[in-house]
Amino acid sequence: MSGTALQVDALTRHYGGVRAVNGASFEIPEGSITGLIGPNGAGKTTTFNMIAGAETPTSGRIRFRGQDITGRPTHELFHLGIVRTFQLPQEFARLTALENLMAAAPGQPGESILLNWLAPGRVRAREAEVLERAEESLAFLGLSQVRDIPAGNLSGGQRKLLELGRTMMTDAQLVLLDEPGAGVNPTLMLRIADMIRRLNAERGYTFCIIEHDMDLIAALCDPVIVLAEGRVLTRGAMADIREDPRVIEAYFGGGAA
Ligand SMILES: Nc1ncnc2c1ncn2[C@@H]1O[C@H](COP(=O)(O)OP(=O)(O)OP(=O)(O)O)[C@@H](O)[C@H]1O
């Protein structure tokens, strides 16, 4: 698919006198792996929070495939296919890798006592479907061998892969990834990068990635959007951005990062 997945216009978020995001406008092309970078405090996380429905903009507009989604709550965005990965919640640490994936599937009919009673066959069929999808996702991620191990006992990198796997249980269209490379060893980092590329190429997910690791951004992302002081400083291919004196100044000039 071509065109624009997400369009952000003049987005602002103020906290009292702090202008965390201050008139940011950018587009995320459909089918892209877009990078969102910038020095500490540039407004990346706040921008993500607004796209994902966790915070309401002070002003500005966010459109997903042309539809105004500004200020919509997370569960409505989830139904549109906008998914943000989060660190696994504490209570999920005791669930196995497989159970973690199964729990991420939306609308599990087995959760409804009434449905269980009215249509047990349908509930079993849906559960079998969820199980199959979870097994497939584990295989895709190369995690089949840790299928029955509690998530809390997995390595940091394996948990990151599992977080990515949770998006595969949904009908994700746009996936927001917050620092997928943080705390991950270089070998697993390559695996994670490879999984992101495959999910993009084979399943058509559009990605927007916040990341401080510039090598990962350079290897994965095009375009790259640079935020500084709550606005877009520039956007383009990483090779050009690296050479841009304004970007170098934003990172090193303010002594911010
Ligand atoms: N809830 C809040 N209340 C007050 N100020 C906030 C709040 N959230 C963020 N800020 C401020 O807004 C600015 C942007 O923060 P944000 O976390 O979005 O930046 P960032 O680019 O994600 O930074 P980092 O790379 O360090 O995570 C910072 O100055 C931050 O201190």
Model pTM score? 0.88
Sorted by where each starts, the structural domains of the chain and their CATH numbers stand as 4-90+171-253 (3.40.50.300), 95-149 (no CATH)
Confidence check: pLDDT of 255 > 50 = no
Q: What average pLDDT does range 26-31 have in this prediction?
A: 97
For ligand 1, the distance from its centroid to the CA atom of residue 252, given in whole angstroms, is 18
Confidence check: pLDDT of 25 > 90 = yes
Is there an atom of ligand 1 within 6 Å of 42 CB? yes
For ligand 1, the distance from its centroid to the CA atom of residue 208, given in whole angstroms, is 18
Sign of the torsion angle spanned by Cα atoms 44, 50, 51, 53 = positive
Q: Which two tokens stand for residue 175?
A: 């996936």
Mutating to test ligand 1, I would choose from 44, 49, 208 the residue with most ligand atoms within 8 A of its C-beta, which is 44
pLDDT at residue 59, as a whole number: 96
Residues with Cβ within 8 Å of residue 51, at least 6 apart in sequence:
6, 8, 62, 82, 176, 208
Closest C-alpha to ligand 1, atom 29: 41
Confidence check: pLDDT of 199 > 70 = yes
Give pLDDT tens digits for 125-174: 677 888 999 999 999 888 999 999 999 999 888 888 998 898 888 889 99
Q: Which two tokens stand for residue 196?
A: 């992101």
Confidence check: pLDDT of 104 > 90 = no
Closest C-alpha to ligand 1, atom 4: 15
Is there an atom of ligand 1 within 6 Å of 257 CB? no
Provide DSSP, the chain. Answer: --SEEEEEEEEEEEETTEEEEEEEEEEEETT-EEEEE-STTSSHHHHHHHHTTSS--SEEEEEETTEE-TT--HHHHHHHTEEE--PPPGGGTTSBHHHHHHHHSSS-GGG-HHHHHH-HHHHHHHHHHHHHHHHHHHHHHT-GGGTTSBGGGS-HHHHHHHHHHHHHTTT-SEEEEE-TTTT--HHHHHHHHHHHHHHHHHH--EEEEE-S-HHHHHHH-BSEEEEETTEEEEEE-HHHHHH-HHHHIIIIITS--
pLDDT at residue 171, as a whole number: 83
Q: Which residues are 176's β-sheet partners?
A: 84, 208
The answer to whether the peptide bond before residue 39 is cis (omega within 30 degrees of 0) is no
First-to-last alpha carbon distance for the chain, in angstroms, is: 36
pLDDT at residue 105, as a whole number: 84
d(CA 109, CA 126): 7
pLDDT at residue 153, as a whole number: 93
Q: What percent of the chain has pLDDT over 70?
A: 88
Output the average pLDDT for the chain.
88
For ligand 1, the distance from its centroid to the CA atom of residue 106, given in whole angstroms, is 31
Is there an atom of ligand 1 within 6 Å of 234 CB? no
Which of 203, 202, 156 is closest to 180 using CA atoms? 156
Is there an atom of ligand 1 within 6 Å of 20 CB? yes
Is there an atom of ligand 1 within 6 Å of 41 CB? yes
pLDDT at residue 256, as a whole number: 42
For ligand 1, the distance from its centroid to the CA atom of residue 26, given in whole angstroms, is 19
- Using pLDDT thresholds of 50, 70 and 90, give the confidence band for residue 112: low
Confidence check: pLDDT of 117 > 70 = no
Is-contact 42 230, C-beta < 8 A?
yes
Give pLDDT tens digits for 39-68: 999 999 999 999 999 999 999 999 999 999
Give ipTM to 2 decimals: 0.96
Is there an atom of ligand 1 within 6 Å of 181 CB? no
pLDDT at residue 24, as a whole number: 97
- Using pLDDT thresholds of 50, 70 and 90, give the confidence band for residue 12: very high
